[in-house]
Amino acid sequence: MPRAGLSTQAVVQAAVEVIDEHGADALTLAAVASRCGVAAPSLYKHVGSLAELKIQVGVRVLHELADRFAAAAMGRSGQDAITALMHAYRAYVAAHPARYAVMPVDPLHHPALAAAGIRQLEVIQAALRPWQLDAAAQVHTIRRLRVIAHGFASLESAGGFGLPDDLDETYQQLIDTFFDSLPTHS
């Protein structure tokens, strides 16, 4: 019998807590089982392997980030929506650097992760709608946005900016540069 209250969602939550507290390298079935108060074999009723658990954690992180994007962009349009989305991206990484680090870099090509990855893209695509980009231009634009937000937030969370000048100003300059790369929209 599975332990009362233990579910796949509870196991994934425990895994996320292990990652948040100790980093991605600390994620083991033994660590998750300990947090759940069960023996490691009991987890197999909820996840088939450590690899499967990592996929479930990846899905969770992708959805969390998509939720942040959607909440930030809701009720906004154009530059305001994109700016809010990019700040939400950075804030998520700052709040959850270890969790973010386990997010799959290419979820669209993994069957279990694709739906969550597509959800993120759809939020970004909706925010970009005012620019009426064709399919190819939209792909390039989303890549530029991701490089700016991911690159900056990843370097920041790893302590990669040692110079004294204001990081918020730098990030805003990058956002402004991103907008300069877009065509004028109506």
What integer pLDDT is reported at residue 2 of this predicted model? 44
pLDDT digits (tens, 9 = 90+) for 94-144: 999 999 999 999 999 999 999 999 999 999 999 999 999 999 999 999 999
pLDDT at 1: 40
pTM assigned to the model: 0.90
**Residue 75 CB contacts under 8 Å (≥ 6 apart), including other chains:** none
| The pLDDT value given to residue 165 | 85
Fold of domain 58-180? Tetracycline Repressor; domain 2 (1.10.357)
Instruction: Report whether 47 contacts 53 (CB < 8 A).
Output: yes
Residues above pLDDT 90, as percent of the chain: 92
Cβ(61)–Cβ(103) under 8 Å? Answer: yes
Predicted confidence (pLDDT) per residue in 151-176, tens digit: 999 999 999 998 888 999 999 999 99
pLDDT the model gives residue 185: 65
Domain limits of the chain? 1-48, 58-180
Q: What is the CATH number of domain 1-48?
A: 1.10.10.60
Kindly list the distances between the CA atom of residue 92 and the CA atoms of 33, 69, 139, 140, in Å, as whole numbers in the listed order. Answer: 27, 10, 23, 23
Cα separation, 117 vs 60, whole angstroms: 11
pLDDT bucket at 36, cuts 50 / 70 / 90: very high
